[in-house]
């Protein structure tokens, strides 16, 4: 796994098998904050949040959420297939105040509970582990697989329907992709879809919510 510096000074990694980086080269930390966390408006939601980090990887989206939620109660479920990545987390520094908490979880059987924070990683194929998540319990979903071209299985209508199932009625899903196929599949799964922010590129990210009418 080759570490690479992104333009905001935070590290990402190159995955040789997939042929992609784990984060945007324009800024790994910035991507987590601006494409995944800020559009969720976590601070407008009530206490005791439950978040789902799909494709947990190096945990940047979870770290950015925890940094934003300092002092609040939050439970995070992460879905990740690659234990090699999870076991590498304690060996790198990432520019998030909460990252030591995530690093401790990785050496504690992928679980950690402290001061109102509870992190638990379900290791395995997300298409299977998502079935362990009860319906209607999630406030926010961060959907962060490799690209639809490289990893189409995690962008299918079938998988997105599972994400719809676990989301609360006022829940929100954020993802970096604005691919037409992704948005079409989100709509078929039942989501209302709108543009997220444009972060250092012309195309927006995507925000998806349940149609509560
Ligand atoms: C773009 S990276 C995610 C980056 C991550 N959010 C972070 O902050 O580092 C995609 C991740 O999806 C994981 N992945 C690939 N296939 C998967 C599957 N079927 N189920 C769960 N995770 C998978 C990869 O191991 C990789 O860590």
- The answer to pTM > 0.85 is yes
DSSP 130-198: GGGSPTT-EEEEEE-PSPTTT-GGGGSHHHHHHHHHHEEEEEEEEES---HHHHHHHHHHTEEEEE---
Predicted local distance difference test score (pLDDT) of residue 3:
96
Q: How confident is the model at residue 80 (pLDDT cuts 50, 70, 90)?
A: very high
> Measured from the CB, is residue 36 less than 6 Å from ligand 1?
no
Q: How confident is the model at residue 191 (pLDDT cuts 50, 70, 90)?
A: very high
Per-residue pLDDT averaged across 49-78, rounded? Answer: 96
Dihedral angle of Cα 104, 108, 113, 119, to the nearest 10 degrees: 80
Q: Are 171 and 163 in contact (CB under 8 A)?
A: no
> Measured from the CB, is residue 60 less than 6 Å from ligand 1?
yes
Q: How confident is the model at residue 1 (pLDDT cuts 50, 70, 90)?
A: confident
Predicted local distance difference test score (pLDDT) of residue 213:
54
Which residues are 54's β-sheet partners?
79, 143
From the CB of residue 189, how many other CB atoms can be counted at a distance below 10 Å? 20
> Measured from the CB, is residue 57 less than 6 Å from ligand 1?
yes
DSSP 54-75: ES-TT-HHHHHHHHHTTTS-EE
Residue for token digits 């980086």? 21
* Cα–Cα distance for residue pair 92/118, rounded to 1 Å: 22
Per-residue pLDDT averaged across 74-86, rounded? Answer: 98
Residues 69-79 pLDDT 10s: 988 999 999 99
Distance 67 CA to ligand 1 centre (A): 21
Q: Are 142 and 172 in contact (CB under 8 A)?
A: no
> Measured from the CB, is residue 39 less than 6 Å from ligand 1?
no
> Measured from the CB, is residue 82 less than 6 Å from ligand 1?
yes
Per-residue pLDDT averaged across 137-149, rounded? Answer: 97
Q: Are 29 and 96 in contact (CB under 8 A)?
A: yes
Collapsed DSSP state (helix, strand, coil) of residue 88: helix
**Annotated domain spans of the chain:** 27-210
pLDDT, averaged across the chain: 95
DSSP state of 34: I
> Measured from the CB, is residue 119 less than 6 Å from ligand 1?
no
Pocket test for ligand 1, best of 11, 57, 103, 149 (most atoms within 8 A of CB): 57
User: Would the pLDDT of 212 be above 80?
Assistant: no
CATH number of 27-210: 3.40.50.150
């Amino acid at each position: 796994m080759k570490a690479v510096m992104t333009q905001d000074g935070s590290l990402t990694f190159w995955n040789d098998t997939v042929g992609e980086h784990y984060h945007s080269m324009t800024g790994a930390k910035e991507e987590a904050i601006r494409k995944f966390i800020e559009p969720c408006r976590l601070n407008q939601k009530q206490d005791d949040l439950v978040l789902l980090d799909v494709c947990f990887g190096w945990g940047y989206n979870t770290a950015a959420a925890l940094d934003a939620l300092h002092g609040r109660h939050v439970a995070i479920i992460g879905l990740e297939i690659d234990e090699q990545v999870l076991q590498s987390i304690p060996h790198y520094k990432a520019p998030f105040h909460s990252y030591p908490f995530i690093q401790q979880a990785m050496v504690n059987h992928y679980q950690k509970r402290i001061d109102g924070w509870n992190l638990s990683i379900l290791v395995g194929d997300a298409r299977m582990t998502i079935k362990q998540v009860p319906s209607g319990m999630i406030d926010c979903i961060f959907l962060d697989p490799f690209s639809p071209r490289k990893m189409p299985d995690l962008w299918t209508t079938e998988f997105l329907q599972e994400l719809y199932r676990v989301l609360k009625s006022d829940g929100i899903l954020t993802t970096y992709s604005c691919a037409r196929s992704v948005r079409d599949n989100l709509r078929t799964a039942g989501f209302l879809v709108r543009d997220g922010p444009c972060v250092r590129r012309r195309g927006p990210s995507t925000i998806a919510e349940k149609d509560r009418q």
